């Protein structure tokens, strides 16, 4: 079985999608933002448990990721200030 996740902007859109799924014979249910975050945390915990400690990133890889994030945040800040 595979799962498809669709984020709908309104309750009426969710109802329409659920009705369509029901008519097509699919199971469907809605998930709140809170439930979605909880599921994501559970999945992350599962992934962390399966990571092989020998495959931990090097300090260089970590520093590279941190630098990338800082660069993106700086660019975003600059764009926001330029739009004012």
pTM of the model: 0.43
- Maximum alpha-carbon separation in the chain: 53
CA–CA gap between residue 17 and residue 9 (Å, rounded): 12
Tell me the per-residue pLDDT of 20-43, one tens digit each, with 9 for 90 and over: 999 999 998 888 889 988 988 998
CB 28 within 8 A of CB 21: yes
H-helix segments, 1-84: 11-23, 33-50, 59-82
Residue 22 vs residue 73, higher pLDDT: 22
């Amino acid at each position: 079985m595979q799962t498809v996740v669709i984020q709908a902007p309104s309750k009426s859109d969710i109802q329409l999608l659920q009705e369509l799924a029901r008519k097509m014979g699919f199971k469907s249910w809605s998930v709140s933002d809170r439930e979605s975050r909880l599921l994501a945390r559970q999945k992350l915990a599962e992934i962390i448990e399966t990571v092989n400690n020998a495959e931990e990133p090097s300090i260089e890889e970590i520093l590279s990721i941190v630098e990338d994030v800082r660069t993106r945040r700086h660019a975003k800040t600059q764009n926001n200030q330029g739009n004012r």
